């Protein structure tokens, strides 16, 4: 049995790079400690999710950079929308719970659904409440439902998240 196999090496590298960035210390002792801790963490937390995520992050950094930029921009925009509702309490808004079907493909669906659900929850004004395991639709509470048509609701809540996540895991 291999202690560190080829699937785990990407996670070790990602954790090691994070260690170096966070400590900012390039002394030999710090680098050895960082590599040791990264390896121990991978041995303790050995999951297919972290293996796949780390591999995709290292092999497709531009896709993840684009995702991070898009997520940050959506969080920024949504924060201002939520602040507007807080500062204008007399404004009529329509809170609602909607079920939105997802189209993330069959391969690595659980990982993609997890990232999509967390992205929606991180965006102020929306929260993922549940997942329909049969249809893979997400139940989402949104602060202000502006549309009645399903495709417009999906575009309003998901935005480009679904396309970006599919592209990251191709």
| Domain boundaries defined on the chain | 6-59, 67-168
Mean pLDDT check: name the lowest of 45-54, 79-88, 113-122: 45-54
Residue 142's nearest CA partner among 80, 90, 91, 99 is 99
Give the global pTM. 0.69
114-152 residue pLDDT tens? 888 888 888 888 899 998 878 888 899 988 887 777 777
Distance CA 110, CA 23 (A): 33
pLDDT at 33 over 50: yes
Kindly state the percentage of the chain with pLDDT values over 70: 90
- Averaged pLDDT of the chain: 83
Whether residue 12 has pLDDT greater than 70 = yes
**Cα(first)–Cα(last) distance of the chain, in Å?**
30
What integer pLDDT is reported at residue 1 of this predicted model? 45
DSSP per residue, 119-158: HHHHSTTEEEEEEETTTTEEEEEES-----SHHHHHHHHH
């Amino acid at each position: 049995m291999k202690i560190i196999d080829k699937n785990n090496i990407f996670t070790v590298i990602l954790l090691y790079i994070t260690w170096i960035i966070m400590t900012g210390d390039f002394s030999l002792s710090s680098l050895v400690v960082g590599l040791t801790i990264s390896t121990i963490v991978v041995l303790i937390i050995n999951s297919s999710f972290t293996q796949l995520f780390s591999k995709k992050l290292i092999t497709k950094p531009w896709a993840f950079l684009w995702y991070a930029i898009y997520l940050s921009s959506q969080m920024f925009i949504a924060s201002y929308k939520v602040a507007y509702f807080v500062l204008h309490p007399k404004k009529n808004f329509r809170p609602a719970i909607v079920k939105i079907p997802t189209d993330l493909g069959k391969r690595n669906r659980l990982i993609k659904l997890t990232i999509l659900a967390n992205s929606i929850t991180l965006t102020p004004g929306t929260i993922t409440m549940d997942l329909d395991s049969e249809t893979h639709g997400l139940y989402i509470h949104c602060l202000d439902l502006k549309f009645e048509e399903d495709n417009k609701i999906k575009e309003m809540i998901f935005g480009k998240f679904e396309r970006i996540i599919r592209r990251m895991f191709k």
